[in-house]
Homo-oligomer: A and B are copies of this chain.
């Protein structure tokens, strides 16, 4: 049997619950986690850094990470919000000399399972089912990016609504009591949409006034999901 870190072993049930590992046995999971370790990050700590040699890839265990790219002028762009079950850095694992294409920054206290590239090459690739799961995750992220691209001409309110809807649907599929499963600031929404903070705030405070959303304990609750959906469809 493969030797794995004790703390990782303790997390196996948690790991197994992610849809990525549908149908994997406890044994295969252990094999897939060879050499893995758990990194605990506090708010705004960086886990993987853009440009650095990619020796590991990651699986978000808890909390959330934003995947960020900084331009030469210091303006940040957020490319993706990674939530539990999301893989980070798998895109470059196949490259010969991989470097991280983005920086991942913890949003609030978070935990990342860091798995060596060698384990990916030697073990993950041996599970066709897993490769397909990864591809399907990539495809989902791809279609999110494409969706955003096709909304380029839409007004800002539509973009914000779509983003909130997309993120909230990650976790709960129930249409009731929707909330965002990560502590996201208006600045981060702006940086994700390529808008200014002020504009995002103007859009969202309108919604707050109309009781469509509410902000409590740094969490955004979607009170009137229907209204938000309506807003998100305004493409006229």
Interface residue ranges, A against B (CB under 8 Å): 69, 71-73, 75, 77, 79, 91-92, 94-95, 101-102, 125, 128, 131-132, 135-136, 138-139, 141-143, 145-146, 148-150, 152-153, 193-194, 233, 235-236
Decide yes or no: A138 and B142 within 8 Å by CB, A69-B150, A150-B79 being known contacts. Answer: yes
A-B contact pairs, 16 of them (CB 8 A): A71-B150, A72-B233, A73-B235, A73-B236, A77-B149, A77-B150, A77-B152, A79-B146, A91-B135, A91-B143, A92-B139, A94-B132, A95-B136, A149-B149, A149-B194, A152-B194
Distance to closest chain B CB from A148 (angstroms): 7
Distance to closest chain B CB from A161 (angstroms): 15
Residues of chain B within 8 A of A91, CB atoms compared: 135, 139, 142-143
Residues of chain B within 8 A of A128, CB atoms compared: 125
For A94, give its contact among B69, B79, B135, B148 (CB under 8 Å): B135
Residues of chain B within 8 A of A101, CB atoms compared: 143, 146
> Number of copies of this chain in the oligomer?
2
Inter-chain CA distance A141–B149, complex, in Å, is 13
Residues of chain B within 8 A of A131, CB atoms compared: 131
Inter-chain CA distance A145–B149, complex, in Å, is 8
Chain B residue at smallest Cβ distance from A133? B94
Distance to closest chain B CB from A158 (angstroms): 11
For the A-B complex with A138-B138, A148-B149, A152-B194 known, give 8 more contacts whose Cβ atoms are closer than 8 Å: A72-B235, A91-B143, A94-B139, A135-B138, A142-B142, A145-B146, A145-B149, A152-B193
Residues of chain B within 8 A of A193, CB atoms compared: 152
Inter-chain CA distance A150–B236, complex, in Å, is 26
Inter-chain CA distance A160–B69, complex, in Å, is 21
